[in-house]
Copies of this chain bind each other. A is one copy, B any other.
Amino acid sequence: MAIRFSEPVNAIKHSDTGDILKLIAQPDMISFAGGLPAEESFPADEIKKATEIVLNGDAGKALQYGPSLGYEPLRESIAKRMNRIVKTQYTKDNILITCGSQQGLDMLCRLFCNKGDTVIVEKPSYLGAITAFNLTQVNFVEIPGDGKGMIISELRKALETHDVRLIYIVTDFQNPTGITWTRERRAEFMQVVDEFEVPVIEDNPYGELRYEGEYLPSLTTFDTKNLVCSLGTFSKTFAPGFRLGWIAANPLFIEKLDLLKQNMDLSTAPFSQRVCETWLENFDFDAHVKSIIKLYKSRRDAMLKAIDEFFPKEVTHTYPEGGLFIWCTLPEQLKSRDILKQCIERKVAFVPGEAFFTSEGNTNFFRLNYSCNDEATIRDGIKRIADVLKENLK
């Protein structure tokens, strides 16, 4: 067949991540590979009540087409909550509802970038963002961090050297590293960004899931030029099965995104949006988030404790104050893919780190997830990984 696919589709590399995930999907495998929220955290009974309320109310409107910006009361609720938690000053006019954060990534790249444009990402960065941006065939410049956020001198150098169209970062409990940017680093970052006038995606899927310390302000609070586009999601605090997320940005961007959304899929499902908003209105979101924090905190603690107890001291790791992930660094001579193969034989799995880099190499890292296994399983799994690590370090 003479069928020709588009350039971006032809350029999608076959990664072996899919193959790894299939291997991992065995029923007796302890998997720290995914990033799924725990199913026991979903408020299923409350959601049932919320859907009843929606369908007993104005069902016709809930089941009809809706505005591409999203359901207005939900946009308002999101703005208010962001203002309270991350100190923004948004109204509904700053919010557009998306089919999860992943769509936000695709939309923002389509909004700002053409083929060949340069995008700055953290080193390492979120895999789903890298693959989304690849659909626009952009080039990446990776900026390393120092545990407190991106190294600002490196950022400045990159902005002076490249014509940068977009910067993508995760400030809270980053995926994959679990690292959180300090308040000072946020301020310094925005000073440089505002100087160069480059739009920024502040991706914040886990921000509410903070297990210690206080919430830090959004980058927008340091932004004098309205450059920051924040991505949020209900996937970690409500349920991913609704595919509900949002973009928060200045109304000029939102206006353009509205046109994009209209042409991409008309709108996010009005029914799902109303169920979510009805849930927010009728139940205690804060209490629900607290219960998730309680669940995940004890899992994080169990994993950190087991790592400290069992892992050889040559393997270092990050300390996440929230979110879902711990990032481990192996001595350079070890390759995390080789370690994974041996781990899979012991029925335990994680994600090798290479996938989170846009540059080659970076073979001695791996990511651990702790949100969807109980404490005993976490301890058991970490011990199994530790055994493999010790054998390889003999």
What residues make up the interface of A, taking CB atoms closer than 8 Å to B?
A: 1-9, 12, 36-37, 39-40, 42, 44, 47-48, 51-52, 55-56, 59-66, 98-100, 102-103, 106, 110-115, 128, 131-132, 134-136, 165, 197, 199, 225-227, 235, 239-243, 252, 256, 259-260, 262-272
Contact = CB atoms under 8 A, between A and B. Distances in A.
A112 B4 contact: yes
26 contacts: A1-B226, A3-B197, A6-B110, A6-B111, A6-B113, A6-B114, A6-B136, A9-B111, A12-B259, A36-B64, A36-B65, A40-B60, A42-B59, A44-B55, A44-B59, A63-B241, A63-B242, A65-B240, A65-B241, A106-B264, A128-B266, A240-B270, A241-B271, A242-B271, A243-B266, A269-B269
Q: How many copies does the complex hold?
A: 2
Contacts of A8: 110
A265 B243 contact: yes
From A36, A110, A136, A226, name the one whose CB has the most chain B CB atoms within 10 angstroms.
A110
A34 to B, nearest CB: 9
A203 to B, nearest CB: 14
Contact of A134 (B128, B263, B267, B269): B263
A138 to B, nearest CB: 10
Contacts of A135: 110, 260, 263-264
Contacts of A56: 48
A236 to B, nearest CB: 11
A284 B145 CA distance: 58
Given A39-B63, A106-B264, A271-B272, 11 more contacts: A1-B197, A5-B111, A9-B259, A37-B64, A44-B60, A65-B235, A115-B115, A132-B264, A134-B263, A243-B268, A272-B272
A42 B65 contact: no
B272 A239 contact: no
A1 B227 CA distance: 9
A42 B5 CA distance: 38
A357 B260 CA distance: 20
